[in-house]
Structure 1
Amino acid sequence: MNLSILDQAPISSGKTAGEALQASIKLAQAGEAFGYKRYWIAEHHDFSGLSCSAPEVMLAAIGANTSNIRIGAGAILLPHYKPYKVAEVFNMLATLYPGRMDLGIGRAPGGSAEVTMALSNNFLQQVYKLPESVQELFQFLHHDFPDDHMYANISAAPLPTTPPQPWILGTSGKSAKLAADQGVAYAFGHFMSDNEGPEIVKSYVDHFKARRTLKKPQTIIAVSVVCAETTGKAEELATSSLLWKIQLGKGEGKEGVPSIEEAKNYTFTDEELTVTSKMKQKMIIGNPQDVKEQLMELQLIYAADEIMIVTITHSYEERIRSYELIANEYSGRKNL
């Protein structure tokens, strides 16, 4: 079973965005050392507690500080951008880091309504046109416009030896259909979906149309996980992330992911306890053995090719340790 990393580049309370981004580079390096297949970083804009607004910039830094782990965006929010520019950027990254580059495409705004207007004042129109934009992007990546197309004589240079692998990221039947129709790999956000995930992923597999380089469907399931030496410690670490999400829902959380001490001193209302209980149902929290068992069960339910883990803790060291414990449990290495 392949394991991968999804990084939202969280800022912990008392830390700066610069420290968070440096922690992301260290996480990618650690993931490579632990044997993870790929590392993706997400795109968010003016989002309290998250530091990465430009995955392409971070990928340049991460590629320069790693050697063989696949790296990519999870995801580039295409409705904000012209396909040609996205193709240029990721072709350049794929030229710098050959055979390692993934290009995940998403349709979410990644920020507030005001941020969306600042980025692109026709966002909703571009969401509606996303299938056409995706098609155009892939034609730029593979340099295969029809001869009579207006873009037939231009290229998204530099053209790498191995193009970046495209992925569609989503949580709905629409994203699954788009990925199947385009014949590209599909990543489903289990950690952020209330939909019938296994049915959506099965629909993608059943309707997949082979095109270009991908000859059969390929799936990733993204899961929120916190792992520690004991389940009790994992529950304690997860409390920080849960409180932060509660704060974000109330328009707070600007200070970043709270510490364990801050979480312990916070008095949850009955309504907030209900919300955190529902959030925990989508998470996997526990010791290495329990986490592995639950991940394997989820992989079977989805029939997924790969599990991508997103972990948010206040301590960047504990975050890396969580990934290490899981990797060791899967590989049979002894956890110390």
Structure 2
Amino acid sequence: MKLSILDQVPISNGKTAKEALEATIELAQFADKLGFKRYWIAEHHGFKGLASPAPDILLGIIGSKTKQIRIGSGAVLLPNYQAYNIAERYNLLASLYPGRVDVGLGRAPGGSAEASIALVDNFLEQVRKYPEKVDDLLRFFHNDFSEEHIFSKVQPTPVPKEKPVPWLLGTSVKSAVLALEKGLPYVFGHFMSDEDGPSIIKGYFDNFQGEKPLAMVTVSVICAETTEEAEELALSNQVWKLMQDQGLGNGFVPSIGETKEYEFTAEDLDSLRKSNHRQIIGNPAEVRIALEKLSEIYETNEFMIITITHDYEARKRSYELIAKEFQLS
């Protein structure tokens, strides 16, 4: 099984954004040594508890401190940008780190409506243009605009020897269909979707035209030495999401101590029950069994793992236990 990491760069309560960013860089170096295949950085805007609005800047640092792990965005939220600008940025990364750069693409705003307005004029119009922007980006990477097109007169520089590899991310049939239309590898966000992911991936596989399709599934995992410890660690992320949904707290990932003071309502408990299928929580053997079961259900052997704990060392340990269980290195 191929395992990768998605990092939203969460800020724990009591920590600073600088500390969260440093923890991400340290984790990326650790993941490189452990044998994980990819390390992707998410893009969010205006969230107090998330420290990465510009994945490419952070990837430039991570690339310089790692040796073999592929680095990429999960995702570039393309409606916020012109395709030419993104082609320049990821060509630059691919020139620095040849054969190691992915560029995941998404259409979500990544923040509030107000943040979207601050980022780009008429965000909804840019979302409508998203398929065209994907086309433009692919043409910029391959320098294959028709001669009469105005963009044929410009080429994003620097021009890398090995091009960035684009992926399309999503949580719905619509995104999978777009990946099919563009002939792109696809990533399904199991950890944040209530859609029937396996049927979406099956439809993608069954209808892909061309070489063997590539599909990856992103799943939330927390692993510890014991099941009880993993369940306790998971409380931070679970309560954090509940508080976000209700506009409670200060926006940062709460400590285990703080979660134990949280008073769960009936609605909270129902929400947790409904989201259980999107999370894997347990000891190494339990995590391996759950991921192997998901691999059979999704019919893919590549998973991207997202792990959020209040304690950054516990997050590192979770990935270390998973790597050892699957003998990645």
Q: TM-score, normalised by structure 1?
A: 0.96
> Is 2:151 aligned against 1:151?
yes
Select which of 249, 266, 273 maps to 2:245. Answer: 249
The question of whether the paired residues in 2 share the 8 Å contact of 1:48 and 1:248 is answered with no
Instruction: Indicate the SS of the match to 1:151.
Output: helix
> Is 2:288 aligned against 1:292?
yes
The amino acid that maps onto 1:297 is K
Distance 2:167 2:180 in 1: 11
Query: CA offset at residue 281 of structure 1?
Result: 2.5
Q: Which runs of 5+ in 1 are unaligned?
A: none
Q: Deviation per CA, 1:82-120, whole angstroms, max 9, x where unpaired? A: 000000000001001110000000000000010010001
Query: CA offset at residue 287 of structure 1?
Result: 0.3
Q: Deviation per CA, 1:10-69, whole angstroms, max 9, x where unpaired? A: 000000011000000011111111110000010000113111000011000111111110
Give the aligned partner of residue 232 of structure 1. Answer: 228
Q: Which runs of 5+ in 2 are unaligned?
A: none
Q: Residues 134 and 332 of structure 1: is their aligned pair in 2 closer, same or farther, counting only changes over 3 Å?
A: closer
Instruction: Indicate the SS of the match to 2:326.
Output: helix
Stretches of 4+ aligned residues off by more than 6 angstroms:
none
Correspondence list, 1:23-42, <5 A:
23-42=23-42
Give the aligned partner of residue 275 of structure 1. Answer: 271
RMSD over equivalenced CA pairs, Å: 1.2
Instruction: Indicate the SS of the match to 1:53.
Output: coil
Give the aligned partner of residue 189 of structure 1. Answer: 189
Give the aligned partner of residue 126 of structure 1. Answer: 126
The question of whether the paired residues in 2 share the 8 Å contact of 1:93 and 1:101 is answered with yes
Query: CA offset at residue 252 of structure 1?
Result: 2.6
The question of whether the paired residues in 1 share the 8 Å contact of 2:4 and 2:37 is answered with yes
Instruction: Indicate the SS of the match to 2:167.
Output: strand
Give the aligned partner of residue 313 of structure 1. Answer: 309
Give the aligned partner of residue 263 of structure 1. Answer: 259
Give the aligned partner of residue 164 of structure 1. Answer: 164
Q: Residues 124 and 5 of structure 1: is their aligned pair in 2 closer, same or farther, counting only changes over 3 Å?
A: same
Q: Deviation per CA, 1:164-200, whole angstroms, max 9, x where unpaired? A: 0000000011110111111111000000000010111
Query: CA offset at residue 264 of structure 1?
Result: 1.2
Correspondence list, 1:12-27, <5 A:
12-27=12-27
The amino acid that maps onto 2:49 is G
> Is 2:136 aligned against 1:136?
yes
Instruction: Indicate the SS of the match to 2:67.
Output: coil
> Is 2:93 aligned against 1:97?
no
Q: Deviation per CA, 1:176-225, whole angstroms, max 9, x where unpaired? A: 01111111110000000000101111111122233xxxx32101100000
Count of residue pairs brought into register by the alignment: 329
Distance 1:175 1:202 in 2: 13
Give the aligned partner of residue 198 of structure 1. Answer: 198
The amino acid that maps onto 2:170 is G
Instruction: Indicate the SS of the match to 1:331.
Output: coil
The question of whether the paired residues in 2 share the 8 Å contact of 1:191 and 1:282 is answered with yes
Query: CA offset at residue 332 of structure 1?
Result: 8.1
Distance 1:111 1:251 in 2: 14
Instruction: Indicate the SS of the match to 2:221.
Output: strand
Query: CA offset at residue 242 of structure 1?
Result: 0.4
Instruction: Indicate the SS of the match to 1:132.
Output: helix
The question of whether the paired residues in 2 share the 8 Å contact of 1:170 and 1:188 is answered with yes
Q: TM-score, normalised by structure 2?
A: 0.98
